[in-house]
A and B are shown apart, each in its own frame.
Chain A
Amino acid sequence: MDNFINRIFSKEPSSADKAKDRLRLVLINDRTDLSAASLENLKDDLLEVLSRYIQIDPKSMKIDITQEGREQRLIADIPISGPISRKY
């Protein structure tokens, strides 16, 4: 019951939720040997390459590593904002 009341009156996530969220990221980093910082670099590099072919809004580009069982998957969601303007 305490827990129920806490949930209504506090916006703070519980310590168990925090632990799970932190662990999820740590395990992905450990398993892939890819830190959050190098994931950012990967994103920048990817953006640079893709921009040679298609027009992308960097802000709408989402790149994440997700966990499926014991396997990691790199998921890229990249909306195309238009054809690249070519010089004739």
Chain B
Amino acid sequence: MSAKVITITSGKGGVGKTTATANIGAALANMGQRVACIDADIGLRNLDVVLGLENRIVYDLVDAVEGRCRLNQAMIKDKHIPNLFLIPSAQTRDKTAVSPSDMIRLCDELRPDLDWIIVDSPAGIERGFKNAIAPADQVIVVTNPEVSAVRDADRIIGIVEAEEKGTPKLLINRLDPEMVKQNNMLSADDVVDLLAIHLLGIVPEDKEVLISTNQGTPISLNNKSLAGQAYQNIARRIMGEDVPLLDLDKGSGFFNKLSSVFGSGD
């Protein structure tokens, strides 16, 4: 086995990088893959609470990098899925405690025992982001259908390409099909058209995401939630399966159909 490293990034904060990391990691692990999620946001630890593992942390990423523990001591086993691990970030250190070469070394040490390493990047384009993309074989850019998030995503895509990490894939998060239909939200097609990169998946706005985060259980383990299904599909696409996009358009009544005949543009 030699794991592939996928880095999840966005530029803008608050678009759902950590949620995407947790859910893609959980969905891949649920398919039988051995997965480690690394929180690369030093000083602002978050992936642990999203995965519900905050009470199990003894050692963190900085401890492992600085040799205060063995790497496997910093790997926390998930409570839901046995082949999912978390390497938490340090909460009390600054982001210069880890360098891009530290990240490459750490991931290379992990690769033989895993199938996937998912790195959760901090927001911004500084040291923490550079750390997160340094070991990446593939980069996923998360955005929301909002002007500020799309603009930052474009900047990030440019930087990732300049760093010769290939063209990233796009994850559009929190798309509200109802607002798209009313022409009050950029559609997935609009965002793909503007950013001109390959679309990996669309995660619809779903209240269940907050509820499952409250409970520390990834939404991708919930088959009834639309967002959960979207993350499962994204994981399958990462595995190389050809999975069609979810049909997010539930309002298919007569008037909606009539309206779409006259070109409501969704």
A residues with a Cβ closer than 8 A to B are 1-4, 6-7, 14-17, 19-20, 22-24, 26-27, 30-31, 67, 69-70
Q: Is the interface of B mostly helix, strand, loop or mixed?
A: helix
- Residue of B151, B167, B186, B258 near A30 (CB, 8 A) is B151
> A16 to B186, Cβ gap below 8 A?
yes
> A2 to B196, Cβ gap below 8 A?
no
**Chain B: which residue is nearest A3 at the CB level?**
B264
Closest 7 pairs (CB-CB, A-B): A14-B183, A1-B255, A4-B259, A69-B196, A70-B196, A3-B264, A16-B183
> B183 to A4, Cβ gap below 8 A?
no
4 additional A-B pairs beyond A1-B258, A23-B150, beta carbons within 8 Å, are A14-B184, A16-B185, A23-B186, A30-B151
**Chain B: which residue is nearest A27 at the CB level?**
B154
> A16 to B264, Cβ gap below 8 A?
no
CB A68 to nearest CB in B, in angstroms, measures: 8
> A3 to B181, Cβ gap below 8 A?
yes
B residues with a Cβ closer than 8 A to A are 146-147, 150-151, 154-155, 157-158, 161, 167, 180-187, 190, 193-194, 196-197, 255-256, 258-259, 262, 264
CB A43 to nearest CB in B, in angstroms, measures: 25
**Chain B: which residue is nearest A17 at the CB level?**
B183
Report if A4-B187 is in contact (Cβ < 8 Å); known contacts: A27-B194, A30-B155, A70-B197: no
- Residue of B194, B256, B264 near A20 (CB, 8 A) is B194
> A19 to B183, Cβ gap below 8 A?
no
B180 CB contacts on chain A under 8 angstroms? 16
Bound CA span A6–B226, Å: 30
**Chain B: which residue is nearest A20 at the CB level?**
B190
CB B212 to nearest CB in A, in angstroms, measures: 29
Bound CA span A43–B260, Å: 41
A31 CB contacts on chain B under 8 angstroms? 154, 158
Bound CA span A26–B186, Å: 15
> A15 to B184, Cβ gap below 8 A?
yes
- Residue of A2, A22, A26, A67 near B182 (CB, 8 A) is A2
